[in-house]
Amino acid sequence: MARKGKYKKHQKSVQATAEDDAVAAAETTAQPEVRTASKMPYLLVFLLGFVLYANTIPFEYALDDKIYITSNSFTKKGLDGLNEIWTNDLMTGFFGTKKNLVEGGRYRPLALTTHAIEWELFEENPQISHFINVFLYGLTGVVLLAVLVRIFGWKEDRWWWSIPFVTTLIFLAHPLHTEVTANIKSRDEIMSLLFALLAFLEVLRYLKVSETKHLLFAGLWFLASLFSKESSVTFLGVIPLTLLFFPQADLKKSLMALSPLLFFTLAYLLVRWSVFADQGGSLEVAKELMNKPYLNATDSERLASIFFTMALYLKLLVWPHPLTHDYYPYHPFRTYAELVFGERPYVDWSSGMAILGVVAYAVILGYGLYGVYKAWKFQKADMYAFGGLIYFGTFILFSNLFFDIGAFMNERFLYIPSLGFALVVAYLIVEKLGKGSRQQLALGVLAVFMIGLSVKTIARNYAWENDRSLAQADVGTSDGSAKVKMTMGSEMLELSREVSNPTERMRILKEGERYSLQSLQIYPGYFPPLDILGNLYYEMGDYAASVNYFIRAVERRSSVERITRNLEVVANKAVEEGAYQPAMQGYQVLLQVIGGSDKARVYSAMGELYGKHLNDLRQSKRYLNLAIKSDPNNAGAYQKIGIVYAMTNQRDSALYAFNKSLEIEPENARVLLNLGILYNQMSRPLEGQRYIQEASKLDPSVTQGIR
């Protein structure tokens, strides 16, 4: 297996390996001036990666950053949270409990550790985190270039016109990487690829110099890659595939180079298994549409829809527009109008795109396997087959073909697979189009291509500035998404609180209402729009509608204290505004889901509603007695029932109730006033006057108008 592949003809001897100096202390006997010159391509690719995303450094947190950082209790403990980070599923720190949300769970402790360290050092500082992402992305370009040079080689005086350099440029500039780099939480993707490439580089170094230390480094880097994100396990196929197409040593030595990767993968799986023995790792996950996107699809629809998205991924590689962060739950299959009209939310085999997906991937896989046969049998390396298999092999885990990954699509899923695309395009430009007299034409094509990719990338970055900019950028593209419309509703709610002009404020609230209602129409079982609509209608002064949506929210998430508290606040406000029936409905729902002193408070509010506003003293007394039974220390309930007793001429009972209230709250001016009035009614003016004077001392406002 010591044969050389077709593209090994440009690989240089030991004297020409100085390019590795920019990455690590590689072996070289080259002259100093050659070493200096060879640093230039590495510096350029780092600067390209950094400059392309430098505009993201001032950005805020966005999208799922709350899951990893701002709302993750483990991360926010800083260094004190590391033990919990390494012994739990990624989502546990966000939800506060163990949940099976995606098949197999998520175990990415190393990526989460970096966020915890940043929180320890800088607390809530997204700019530092964005800078680190951008730096790591540029560094990934450097390591990728080093790996490709080891595989393909280059001419020292023409490094700028080589497959390694052009591939790296295309990879770094591709706009599909904006989600990975501009969204802080996607550092797991960057770290996973960076460490996998470092492992690959150590494998290649071992094959070159046979030093055992490189085997250890390869294994450790690969372990770090898996601890960053498990999807880099695909490099267990990428690396041997590369060595088959472009051999670096004989079969025995190549297998030896791969052994530490397998060993440390096993170590990772053992750690993962020990963590997920009782949490998160089950393939039985919650049957919720946002986590199981094909939940409502027939088997035929599921398969057709999967191949539809697989074809769309290929389209985005070639023409990355339009881009979006959101595909939940029915984008790209249906628009909002189609869904409201009653169209099935999935595609079927009548879709040409689904058929195209089957054909395209059959060709990619079939031609790739033919390329494997040629590489093994005839020692011929076919770049089309190699690039196609790199894409196919690193992408297939994200296809939903074998298990649900929790989303139809996401641009970040093409981060590593796009390397296969970059290799093929670089080969076409450099080796096919750029030969001989056509090199100037090829340079022009590359320049136009790179300018187009770079401009799109930099422009797309701005969508990721914060949640609002992201929703505004993508709500038109992801028209069939309940999630992005929900986010727009939420952002309009927040924006309305920043506006003082009443007309403009109402316009913004109505816009938020429109998006939130559309979100519910797309997915009636979606919880967040209920909460948002409750708040929107509250801000609009429509308390009946607000109560209605908070009731629906409480019925879905009765354990969330914030939601029950909101319903109580809105019901109380509805009473103030005369919307008694909606308020009563809200109180009745609350009584079904709360207990203890909270229930007593609601009973008390209902007693006041019946007595003060509906003039139903019998019902008022019943609910106030229930309040006292639920919480014997509820001073307000004693005060209110004392008023009811006084109004029904049960003065002894009223006196007992007021005194009981005063016993619990000795300095309650209103209770003192009630006692004073009651004593006056009982023809005991001296006692009455004394209590009224005490009330006036505590709060003069309560006795205004009373003689």
Q: What is the pLDDT of residues 78-91, one digit of tens each?
A: 999 999 999 999 88
Assess whether pLDDT exceeds 80 at residue 104. no
Q: What is the pLDDT of residues 250-297, one digit of tens each?
A: 999 999 999 999 999 999 999 999 998 765 444 455 678 888 889 999
C-alpha torsion sign, points 425, 428, 434, 438: negative
Enumerate helices (H) and strands (E) in the chain, giving the number of each. Answer: 31, 0
**What's the chain's length in residues?**
707
Q: Is 469 exposed, middle or buried (0-12, 13-18, 19+ CB in 10 A)?
A: middle
User: Is residue 258 a contact partner of residue 206, using CB atoms and an 8 Å limit?
Assistant: no
Assess whether pLDDT exceeds 80 at residue 29. no
Instruction: Count other C-beta atoms under 10 Å from residue 128's C-beta.
Output: 16
pLDDT of residue 706: 66
List, in sequence order, every beta strand (DSSP E) within 69-122. none
Q: What is the pLDDT of residues 34-78, one digit of tens each?
A: 343 489 999 999 999 999 999 999 999 999 999 999 999 999 999
pLDDT of residue 1: 39
* CA–CA dist 512, 438 (Å, integer): 55
Q: What is the pLDDT of residues 575-626, one digit of tens each?
A: 999 999 999 999 999 999 998 889 999 999 999 999 999 999 999 999 999 9
* CA–CA dist 86, 274 (Å, integer): 11
The stretch 463-483 carries a mean pLDDT of 97
DSSP alpha helix (H) spans, 153-212: 163-173, 178-182, 187-209
Q: What is the pLDDT of residues 214-235, one digit of tens each?
A: 999 999 999 999 999 999 999 9
Give pTM, 2 decimals: 0.88
- CA atoms within 13 Å, Cβ hemisphere of 578: 0
Using alpha carbons, select from 679, 642, 677, 676 the residue that is nearest to residue 658: 642
- Percent of residues, the chain, with pLDDT higher than 90: 85
pLDDT of residue 296: 93
Query: pLDDT grade, residue 705 (50/70/90)?
Result: low
- Percent of residues, the chain, with pLDDT higher than 70: 92
Q: Which two tokens stand for residue 182?
A: 């501009």
More confident residue, 243 or 11: 243
